[in-house]
Structure 1
Amino acid sequence: MPSGDLIPINRLRIGQYVQAANEEGQLISSKVLGFLDKRPNETAPYITLTLASGHAVSLSANHLLYVTALNNSTDGNAEGSMSSIPSHPVYAGQVQLGHYLYIPMDGQLRANPVVGISYGFKLGAYVPLTEHGSIIVDGALASCYASFPHWLSHALLMPARYFPEILLDTEDSQDSPGLRTFPSILKMVGQTLAKIKVVNNYKSNDIIRLYAFDKHFPSPSL
């Protein structure tokens, strides 16, 4: 929340304001317009990224996070703000130890290093859409989008940001489970573009292959 108070994502409601980032990398408040997908009863594989700050960020592998490797842009002490450090959305499954995510600190978004990566299964999947296409999740800045590049998803979902009551949710429909119709259509568009090599996409079952071949994941408790 803009006040810094925490609210579980499963209790998030349309019309509420959450912390997010604008195009200049500044920490702002952004309105929740609706949900792209909501699956409260589904158990799915998640990656948990532990930061030096103590934050533990749990996301699906195909969800996008704002990441920097810092390189020579600061002295590597995690004191650089997002507005002064080059960053770009990266799929959670591609984040490595030593990469930096962004956390709210002193009214700014500041880089903080990833010091641990773990894998497991969690119950529930919620994908809210904000006015700015970003949101603070588990204390770190994430995109509202998954599977396809942020710029593409943000552009294609512009109609939903202008007309969320028609294309996403109303007060009455926001608790309904499932992928919303308009995002499902855009997902098919993205899959078509990926097939003809116009864009790259990160498939949600890529994380399942991690489980199948690398044995990172414990067996889910069902």
Structure 2
Amino acid sequence: MLLPWLVTCLAGCAVILSPVSEGCGPGRGYGKRRSPRKLAPLAYKQFSPNVAEKTLGASGRYEGKITRNSERFKELTPNYNTDIIFKDEENTGADRMMTQRCKDKLNSLAISVMNLWQGVRLRVTEGWDEDGHHSEESLHYEGRAVDITTSDRDRNKYAMLARLAVEAGFDWVYYESKAHVHCSVKSENSVATNSGGCFPGGAWVTLEDGGQKLIRDVCPGERILASSEIDGSGELIYSEVLTFLDRDPATWKQFFTIRTESGASVSLTAAHLLFVSKGNCSGGEEAAFGSMRTIYASDAQPGQCLLTTVTGELVGQNEEGRKGVGRLSRISQVNMREDVGVYAPLTRHGTLVVNGVVTSCYAVVDEHNLAHWAFAPLRLLHHWTGSAGGHVGDTGVHWYSKVLYWIGSLLLGSEHFHPWGLADPWR
């Protein structure tokens, strides 16, 4: 039984996703190879992503200095890649020591350097530091950071070298000085390498009886308040929870907390999708169909309008189970905080109301409609079997999300995905 519905799901994903990519579906560009994406060099002193290095959105927290005598020294591995030049001015081999994740990204970058500049190799001027030459809590002390140049030491290449490092998958890249580029990665056991789109465990949803329930306690099969329209507008309805796209009670994540003038406040991870009005808005108004668009939570700005629910309208319901409508409310403040537990329930309608704010169930990809279509095979699977493939108590990213991300990454350019998205979708 497993193989037929797995094949059905994968085939459905390929069919659904392919039309949205130029050159991958019918029409103009069909059958043509997509032109290589032009890479833009980083500006001097620019860092990517545009957050501090030791935040969860970049390389994550400092976990402590690693010495040769410490238990954690086994976390480091030597890099003997002959396509990389290691300065090793200490003559101890320290620059070759790094975490496996750092090694993988560095080796990938070495290939990109040789492909772009004939006869030029990647050069590491500083890797793991055991002598205390860097600032306090430097990731060099954990083997998670490297300073790099090109073998010809041509400083005119360093801006593009920084861009290549971003493309190679380093979690934070900083064109730090005219003499080198600084790159770092998340720790091997960092929960930040498994980012998706989620809510914290303390967020609440509304049940059919009008009561509220913490999102961490919601179970598949329950019906929670959601929007009946694909863009979050229109009437509210109770929609069945099919499964969790991500669920991990122990994970610490960085959340964007978005507050509105109506008093509603919701926290989401950076890559989660949020409905906002397309144009100017006034608080308290109903949203017309087609007037909303989706943005990542990390792109939310004061002055934009979200859809919030009005408690008084949620008393009673009509025969179809609809419960009023969402109303526009301006964002008054956006903050960042850390919290424990990540939960991403998937409803049949692809929307849900969390803390009184109408949101999408989806994340990482930049378009709610696309994501909802892509999850159609999973909804069909649930219709056929009564299950969406996940199990009560399962933790981690849902297998379908991982497969879908892999398919999407083949068909869509990286510009369609959030840079903090599923950095390691196969975790």
Normalised to the residue count of structure 2, the TM-score between the two structures is 0.44
Match of 2:370 in 1: 152
Identical-pair percentage: 28
Verify: 1:86 aligned to 2:291, yes or no: yes
DSSP 3-state at the match of 2:400: helix
Question: Which protein is bigger by CA-based radius of gyration?
Answer: 2
More strand per residue: 1
DSSP 3-state at the match of 2:219: coil
**5 Å matches for 1:90-169?**
90-105=295-310, 106=313, 107-148=324-365, 149-164=367-382, 165-169=386-390
Amino acid at match of 1:19: L
Contact map agreement 1:102 1:140 (CA 8 A) in 2: yes
1:161: Cα distance to partner? Answer: 1.1
Partner of residue 218 from structure 2, selected from 12, 16, 27: 12
| Distance in structure 2 (CA, Å) of the matches to 1:94 and 1:192 | 25
Contact map agreement 2:256 2:334 (CA 8 A) in 1: yes
Decide whether aligned partners of structure 1 residues 81 and 116 sit closer, same or farther in structure 2, where only a CA change above 3 A counts: same
Verify: 1:21 aligned to 2:230, yes or no: no
| Distance in structure 2 (CA, Å) of the matches to 1:145 and 1:194 | 17
Decide whether aligned partners of structure 1 residues 161 and 50 sit closer, same or farther in structure 2, where only a CA change above 3 A counts: same
Amino acid at match of 1:29: Y
1:179: Cα distance to partner? Answer: 1.2
| Distance in structure 2 (CA, Å) of the matches to 1:92 and 1:110 | 19
RMSD across aligned C-alpha pairs, in angstroms?
Answer: 2.0
Q: Which has the higher contact order (CA 8 A, sep 6+)?
A: 1
Count of residues in correspondence between the two structures? 197
1:104: Cα distance to partner? Answer: 1.4
| Distance in structure 2 (CA, Å) of the matches to 1:11 and 1:168 | 19
1:84: Cα distance to partner? Answer: 5.7
| Distance in structure 1 (CA, Å) of the matches to 2:336 and 2:419 | 17
Stretches of 4+ moved more than 4 A in 1?
none
| Distance in structure 2 (CA, Å) of the matches to 1:179 and 1:205 | 12
Decide whether aligned partners of structure 1 residues 167 and 16 sit closer, same or farther in structure 2, where only a CA change above 3 A counts: closer
